[in-house]
Amino acid sequence: TDKQTVSGEKDMLLNQDRAFLWHHMAPHNDHPAIFTESDNVYLTDIDGNSYIDGMAGLWCVNVGHGRTSIAEAAAKQLNTMPFTPMTNSHKPAIQLAAKLNDWLDGHYRIFFSNSGSDANEVAFKIARQYFTQTGKPKKYKFISRYRAYHGNSMGALGATGQADRKASYEPVAEGFRHAAPPYCYRCPFGKEPDSCSLECASSIEQTIVWEGADTVAGVIVEPVITGGGVITPPESYLQKVQEICQKHDVLLIVDEVICGFGRSGEAFGHKNFGVQPDIVTMAKGITSAYAPLSATAVSNDLYESFKSGGPQSHFRHVNTFGGNPMSCAVALENIDILEREDLVAQAKSTGSYLRAQLESFYQFPSVGDIRTFGLMAGIELVTDKTTKEPAPPEFMQQVLGYCKQHGVMIGKNSDTVPEHNNVLTISPPFIISHEQIDTIVETLREAITRASPA
């Protein structure tokens, strides 16, 4: 019967999964969820169970699943011309570079790569070369914040300020230093909002000065630290960081891999804070993950220094798949959907709705802090609101397990150090309805209610 065929196929897939597949972040999983289909905000597994994709994959399927117009744009490009490298040019890349300039205020040159990590590596190399060819070759260091994630390759991992992600791979690339995060709930400087003078921003300046400003090329920040726990900075923090960068001739690199393309409720996360970065990196939402693509947007001033000095001033960096024509065509249609359906505004208003629904969670003894930014939320779980002792992994697992069992997939921060992995995360597709948000919130409410006291 059909049922036997399906269960036979499932058994075979499970056996092959166990025999051949290396899962990300884990060597194997005895009971991997095998997903077969998706539509709107729903994923269906091989047994036919349906789940709300409350994280939009990995913070990325922003326009939602099942967009046939994107599939058609991809097929059209594949049938027209599957490939020519970015040492040449092609129509989708040209049009996408122009479109990205519409979305960024200012004039940027766009360098295409494949992943968020790639985009950050490109930013670091461009920044170093820029200083080399403008007479400041000693400027090579980058400063990022603890708890930030910037990618998995050796440079991007160097910029990542999460100890557990690096533990088995050091030494990572040389030249990365960290400063304190703008983490108001657990202020590294013991301040409260009314006694705060943005010591977290000052710590970046202190690091620049102690390292020697003539050795520092850039500061890389996300507008809010997303994967590290949805850590939202004080309102004027990013402006102060920009002023510090300008004062010390240090480039401001803003990692918009998650915050970009509407997740923050604005076109880009940094627009919420009124800054103008020197370099902007983006990935995920650029295609809503329908195809791999990333971009490094570089201010025109920087770009000019690469034009004048012959081959030695070329950016000697190429990657085969970067700017792939199909990926660019997918990005163009994805961005067109965001514009046609006014989804950035929708992300903002749905984010406010989500925030309002979560507010009552403060009644739980285990909910220490609720942080939101655009259409994302971080709920920090504790064992005691006064001591703020983080909820242990078993408590997190109970909550996440209950949600998944009841058809709701949300996430958590991870790999800072185990005792800091206590933030639940929600980051759904922008098209999610209020009713679907209610389902997430009510399921989560039940999950936290039932989880045994930490």
Residues near ligand PMP (CB under 6 A) are: 58, 115-117, 120, 149-152, 222, 226-227, 255, 257-258, 283
Shortest Cβ 327–ligand PMP spacing (Å): 13
Shortest Cβ 55–ligand PMP spacing (Å): 11
Taking the least distance from each CB to ligand PMP, the nearer of 227 and 265 is: 227
Taking the least distance from each CB to ligand PMP, the nearer of 257 and 408 is: 257
Q: What is the number of residues in the chain?
A: 454
Coil, strand or helix at 260: coil
Shortest Cβ 431–ligand PMP spacing (Å): 21
Shortest Cβ 149–ligand PMP spacing (Å): 5
Query: CA dihedral in degrees (320, 324, 325, 328; nearest 10)?
Result: -150
Q: SS3 for 160-228, per residue? A: CCCHHHHCCCCCCCCCEEEECCCCHHHCCCCCCHHHCCCHHHHHHHHHHHHHCHHHEEEEEECCCECCC
Shortest Cβ 261–ligand PMP spacing (Å): 13
Phi, psi of 58 (to 5 degrees): -110, 65
Task: Work out the widest C-alpha separation in the chain, in whole angstroms.
Answer: 74
Shortest Cβ 148–ligand PMP spacing (Å): 7
Q: Which of 451, 394, 292, 404 is nearest to 32 (CA)?
A: 404
Shortest Cβ 427–ligand PMP spacing (Å): 10
Taking the least distance from each CB to ligand PMP, the nearer of 421 and 439 is: 421
Instruction: Tell me whether the omega of the peptide bond preceding residue 171 falls within 30 degrees of 0, making it cis.
Output: yes
Which distant-in-sequence residues (6+ apart) come within 8 Å of 376 by Cβ?
Answer: 59, 226, 230, 258, 263, 351, 425, 426, 427
Q: What is the DSSP letter of 44?
A: E
Taking the least distance from each CB to ligand PMP, the nearer of 126 and 441 is: 126
How far apart, in whole angstroms, are the C-alpha atoms of residue 45 and residue 444?
21
Taking the least distance from each CB to ligand PMP, the nearer of 19 and 25 is: 25
Shortest Cβ 260–ligand PMP spacing (Å): 9
How far apart, in whole angstroms, are the C-alpha atoms of residue 320 and residue 84?
9
Shortest Cβ 14–ligand PMP spacing (Å): 26
Shortest Cβ 366–ligand PMP spacing (Å): 26
How far apart, in whole angstroms, are the C-alpha atoms of residue 140 and residue 122?
14
Shortest Cβ 202–ligand PMP spacing (Å): 23
DSSP strand pairing (279-282 vs 216-221): unpaired
Taking the least distance from each CB to ligand PMP, the nearer of 160 and 366 is: 160
Taking the least distance from each CB to ligand PMP, the nearer of 117 and 203 is: 117
Taking the least distance from each CB to ligand PMP, the nearer of 280 and 367 is: 280
Q: Tell me how far CA of residue 307 lies from CA of 269, 304, 325, in angstroms.
A: 30, 5, 25
Residue nearest to ligand PMP (CB): 116
Q: Tell me how far CA of residue 167 lies from CA of 17, 116, 134, 183, in angstroms.
A: 27, 21, 36, 23
Taking the least distance from each CB to ligand PMP, the nearer of 161 and 368 is: 161
Taking the least distance from each CB to ligand PMP, the nearer of 93 and 293 is: 293
Q: Tell me how far CA of residue 354 lies from CA of 147, 437, 438, 441, 450, in angstroms.
A: 25, 7, 8, 8, 21
Taking the least distance from each CB to ligand PMP, the nearer of 201 and 376 is: 376
Phi, psi of 116 (to 5 degrees): -60, -40
Q: What is the DSSP letter of 148?
A: -
Q: What is the DSSP letter of 144?
A: E
